[in-house]
Amino acid sequence: MLEVLFEFLFQVVFEFLLQIFGELLVELGLRSVAEPFSDREARNPLLAGLGYAVLGVFAGGLSLIFFPRALLRGTSLHGISLLLTPLLAGGAMSLLGAWRRRRGERLLRLDRFGYAFVFAFCMALVRLLFTK
């Protein structure tokens, strides 16, 4: 009888902790995705970076639907896209951000090199790992 009660309590506690942990992960994920678009004054750059990483992963996965094959697969240059493309994308976005700043337009975090690099790196990583 005591053994059954212990198993029941263990299962209830385990399920509770599992659900709380899952909810915390989902909340963190939702906050990190929402952070890049937040208009609050107190912004968290780490959450914004994580949000852009998540968006990059989703964009990489979505791109696989339309472009399932790697352009450079089978050559020694295949993996170079993991660094070169994000560096170029980060540079291009920072130039675009500078242009927007000169025009007085509102900037997004994606208009900065670091955030653009994180987004492009995660997208390139997904494409590197999952292209045929």
3-state secondary structure of 131: coil
pTM score above 0.75: no
For the chain, the structural domain boundaries read 2-130
For residue 43, the 8-state DSSP code is: -
Residue 62's pLDDT is 87
Residues 6+ apart with CB under 8 A from 110: 36, 52, 93, 116, 119
pLDDT profile of the chain (132 residues), mean per 10? 71 57 61 62 77 88 84 62 84 88 85 90 89 76
